[in-house]
Amino acid sequence: MSLSRQRLIVSLFPNRVAAGVFQSGQRKRVESIELNSSDWQSAWSSALTPYDPALRQLLARLRLPANAPITVLYHSPTAIIRIDENRGTKAEAEAAALLRFDQSNEGSSTIRAAEAMARSAKSRDDWIVVTVSEREETANAIYTWVARCGGALRDIQPTQAAVLEDAFQAVQATPQRKAACVIDQEWSAVVAGDKEGIELARIFELGYRLLTDAYASAYRPGEPLSHTEAERALMSIGVPTKRGSVPDQVRQDLLPRIAPIVQRLSVEIKQTLRYGLSQGDPPDTLTLEGRGAAIPEIASVLAEGVDMHVKTNPPNPHADQPDAFTTESTEHAFAVRQTRRLALRPSPAVVEQGISNIKRAMLLGASAAMIAIAGEFAWVKHQHRGLDPAFEAISGEIASIVRVNEEIVNASGLATTVGRCAAAIEDNSSVQPDIEEAMGVISHAAGEHTRLSGVEFQLGREGATLTLTGHAEGASEEDAAASLQDMVGFIESQPSIEHVEIGAVSSSTGETPGSAIRRFSLTAHLKPGRTYYEPLARFANATENQP
């Protein structure tokens, strides 16, 4: 059974527990079980455990799923209701009412709610605020009772709050100034005023159950009626003021029981209106509301007592059928009301609701996070795919660059390795002059007037030298010197020669008379020749010297 948009209301009274399913202001199903009102006090002492079977049975009859959310309307043994007039905004008036309530109930553990029901007729700046409170243990007893029976308590409301709310609604429904009295089983409420402002509001513990009890004990002498039977008789016969409505004997037994109750009710209403209305006369008409208003002759009896015209709503043809959630009852009004203004929530229900909200928030949060992650992932993928055309456009050029770079890297690696090899050869070799050119120099140096007796290349790590020994001839000393000088000049002029050092020089006479010989030893420093692999050797050395 789906409970979406449905309300499950459980009403608990000393004589009856009932459960009803309501949807869109319509009663769908109602089940009730009669209780023994004498067990009422002991049931509360036992945290309502004696009523477990009854509630389980009701929920089973209604075929409700486990943990269905339930609102409980109950006759409270401990609830307190208070009516204040507070100035300020609606929220300020409610906060002030709660503060005042807390100050007056310091030390007691209660849950409470305040509702500014209407503007005050005395001052437009004031609000009529109703504060309802319940003791924690009472609220927790209801919570655990519902939980034990497989339901999930959403909120609770004492009947007095519902009765008072009904009375406010009755007055505010019409623009005319009026007084309304809601008579329910255990409580009655009187409210006077109009749509614009409320002049008085009062609730007192006096309901038609006392009349029902009177019928139960006196209607059938010697054999008391059940509560249901008694209520049916009450709603059928009402106040037996006229002869003939019931047997005389019964009337004689009933009237002494009923008259004081009706009289007490009249006095409560009359005094409430007399002392509660500070502005002028009371309204001409008192309207009776609630299931108590359906009692036959109640209006005429009360009219005599309160000295007012008392009227009731058109009679319900089924009013004599005692049933839970009947149309006129406070239960019904409570069940079909769209907003529940004076609802109380036991601490465990608040915690449970909080946990439920957290679970829902977690689910929502997780879903949102998952969606966000999926969205971010899809967005990144989409962005990523957007890069593909750009990569595609330059792929040819990049391949070419990669080839060039690879060639450079390979060539650089090859140059380094081969260069190291070349450097090793150079490091392990003497300086190599250009032998071809050096041999050419020697060949030309040994000319007509110059003879070489020794040629020696000295090739070392530091450099290469060519040592020539021989002699120069001349017709005279000066000619021989000039020939030597010519040879040295020639050698020095050669590009492969860095410079020439002339060593030992001696002069002697030649074989022919008058001739001269000049003996010499000279050293030519040779420029190093260049090998084809030298650039790589330099490259490798430079690479190794890099930091």
Partner 1 sequence: MIDLLPRPLLLRLGVACVLLLVAWATLVRPAHARFDADRARLDIQLQQVRTHAASATEQSDLASTADAIRGIAQRLGSDLRHHKSSKDLLAQIETLAKANAVRINRSETFETDRVPVLSAEGEEQLTLFADRLGIAFTGSYSDASRFVQAIQSDIGIVALESIRLAPVGGQDITGSIEIKGFRLNPKHAGPFSAEAPDDEH
Q: Which residues contact partner 1 (rule: CB under 8 A)?
A: 351, 354-355, 358-359, 362, 366, 369-370, 373, 376-377, 380-381, 383-384, 387, 390-391, 394, 397-398, 400-401, 404, 407-408, 410-411, 414-418, 420-422, 424-425, 428-430, 432, 435-436, 439-440, 442-443, 452-459, 532-533, 535-536, 544
Nearer of residues 309 and 444 to partner 1, judged by Cβ: 444
Report in angstroms how near the CB of residue 71 gets to partner 1 at its nearest. 23
Q: Residue 541 Cβ, how far from partner 1 at the closest point, in Å?
A: 10
- Cβ neighbors of 194 (< 8 A, separation 6 or more) are 121, 171, 172, 174, 175, 176, 177, 178
To partner 1, the closest distance from the beta carbon of 494 in angstroms equals 15
Instruction: Give me 102's structure tokens.
Output: 């807390």
Beta carbon nearer to partner 1, 210 or 435: 435
Pick between residue 314 and residue 389 the one whose CB is nearest to partner 1. 389
CA 144/CA 117 separation, integer angstroms? 31
Q: Are 142 and 153 in contact (CB under 8 A)?
A: yes
Q: What phi, psi does 345 have (nearest 5°)?
A: -125, 115
Question: Do residues 492 and 473 make contact, with C-beta atoms less than 8 angstroms apart?
Answer: no
Nearer to partner 1, 339 or 391 (CB): 391
- The token pair at 100 is 């005042």
Least Å distance between CB 461 and partner 1?
11
Is the CB of residue 97 less than 8 Å from the CB of residue 86? yes
CA distance 445 to 491: 7
Q: Which is nearer to partner 1, 267 or 362 (CB)?
A: 362
Q: At its nearest, how many Å lie between partner 1 and the CB of residue 487?
A: 16
Q: Any idea what the Cα angle at residue 138 is, between residues 133 and 139, rounded to 5°?
A: 70
Handedness of CA 335, 336, 342, 347 (dihedral sign): positive
Shortest reach from residue 377's CB to partner 1, in Å:
5
Write b or e for each residue in 485-509: b if 16 or more Cβ atoms lie within 10 A of its Cβ, otherwise e: eebbebbeebebbeebeeeeeeeee
- Give min distance, CB of 8 to partner 1, in A: 25
CB of 387 to partner 1, least distance (A): 5
For the CB of residue 383, give the shortest distance to partner 1 in the complex, in Å.
Answer: 6
Our CB check for partner 1 shows the closer of 127 and 539 to be: 539
- The CA distances from residue 409 to 330, 414, 533, in Å, are 96, 8, 19
Taking every pair of Cα atoms in the chain, the longest distance, rounded to a whole number of angstroms, is: 201
Residue (115 or 434) nearer to partner 1, CB: 434
Whichever of 398 and 475 has its CB closer to partner 1, that residue is 398
- The four Cα atoms 185, 187, 193, 197 give a dihedral, to 10 degrees, of -120
Q: From CA 201, how far away is CA 509, in angstroms rounded?
A: 163
Q: Which residues contact 378 (CB under 8 A, 6 or more apart)?
A: none
Choice between 30 and 445, CB closer to partner 1? 445
Shortest approach of partner 1 to residue 523 CB, angstroms?
14
Q: How far apart are the first and last CA of the chain?
A: 84
Choose between 62 and 459: whose C-beta lies nearer to partner 1. Answer: 459
DSSP letter at 224 equals: P
- CA 500/CA 489 separation, integer angstroms: 9
Q: Which is nearer to partner 1, 401 or 542 (CB)?
A: 401
Q: Shortest gap between Cβ of 335 and partner 1 (angstroms)?
A: 31
